[in-house]
Chain A
Amino acid sequence: MLNIVYFAWVRERIGLPREKVETAAATVADLVAELIAREERYAVAFADISALRVAVDQELVGFDAPLAGVREVAFFPPMTGG
């Protein structure tokens, strides 16, 4: 099982902060494609991937990052700290 967490407007559009999914996705991009196919709210949240950032096991990565051995994937907009 893979933990997926969402933050900021990604969380609001999908309507939940975290979920566990059973997936065979090889990369983050594959996982996004699976989620988009699932329900309209995912399609809305992931409509423009260039507006999103992703972290696997709390490290920022690109959408081509592999998911083998990964426990948690996080999707969020560009960060606005400071």
Chain B
Amino acid sequence: MVVRLQEWAFDAGAELNRFSANVTSSKVNGAGAVVSFTGVVRDTDDRLIRMEIEHYPAMTGPAIEAMVDHATGCWGLAGALVIHRYGALEPGAPIMMVATAARHRADAFAAAEYLMDFLKSRAPFWKKEVTKQGATWVAARDDDEQALDRWT
């Protein structure tokens, strides 16, 4: 399991290749399925200057590690990777990525979805959009909160 919190950008392709090589080479884990998701700073109408992400350093790491532990036990993961950035991010830049590995794809997909749902609403990050018109905190969405219900 790898959980990384960082200010700097990352290369999602390179991270995925490294993760895949690690989980598939292991004779013990024997993963046959790798699923990944990358979130990117969206700028649909060309007004975003940057995205600022604040977090709660003392809580963020432990909270994400608990999610990954739960997912690993629930779906028998051979490996999991979570990278999440904070600080100032440019439009088009990667925000975060999740990768999961399991023997079969259904478990890898389910674990990745679980991790995404919980990272959205239970990891202590707050996004602020800085545009030419000013800065606004991104509001949490009701359907993101409701998405957690399917895992209980």
One of A26-34, A37-45, A61-69, A74-82 at the interface:
A74-82
Q: Please tell me if the beta carbons of A58 and B126 are within 8 angstroms of each other in the complex.
A: no
Q: Which of B56, B95, B137 contacts A9 (CB 8 A)?
A: B137
Q: Which residues of A contact B95 (CB under 8 A)?
A: 82
How far is A5 from B58 in the complex, measured between Cα atoms in Å? Answer: 11
Q: Which of B120, B124, B139, B145 contacts A7 (CB 8 A)?
A: B124
CB distance from B10 to the nearest CB of A (A): 15
Which residues of B (22-55) have their CB < 8 Å from a CB of A?
Answer: 39, 54-55
User: In the complex where A58-B63, A76-B56, A79-B124 touch, is A8 in contact with B119 (Cβ < 8 A)?
Assistant: no
Interface size on A, residues (CB 8 A): 16
Q: Which of B96, B120, B123, B140 contacts A77 (CB 8 A)?
A: B140
B62 contacts partner chain A, Cβ-Cβ < 8 Å: yes
Q: Please tell me if the beta carbons of B56 and A7 are within 8 angstroms of each other in the complex.
A: yes
User: In the complex where A7-B124, A80-B127, A81-B120 touch, is A55 in contact with B59 (Cβ < 8 A)?
Assistant: yes
Q: Please tell me if the beta carbons of B140 and A78 are within 8 angstroms of each other in the complex.
A: yes
Q: Which residues of B contact A82 (CB under 8 A)?
A: 39, 95-96, 116, 119-120, 123, 125
B122 contacts partner chain A, Cβ-Cβ < 8 Å: yes
**B58-75 interface mask toward A, CB cutoff 8 Å, 1 = contact, 0 = none?**
110011000000000000
The 17 sampled A-B contact pairs (Cβ below 8 Å) are A5-B56, A7-B55, A7-B124, A7-B126, A8-B128, A55-B56, A58-B59, A60-B122, A76-B56, A78-B139, A79-B124, A79-B126, A80-B127, A80-B139, A81-B121, A81-B124, A82-B39
Binding site for A on B (CB under 8 A): 39, 54-56, 58-59, 62-63, 84, 95-96, 116, 119-128, 137-140, 145
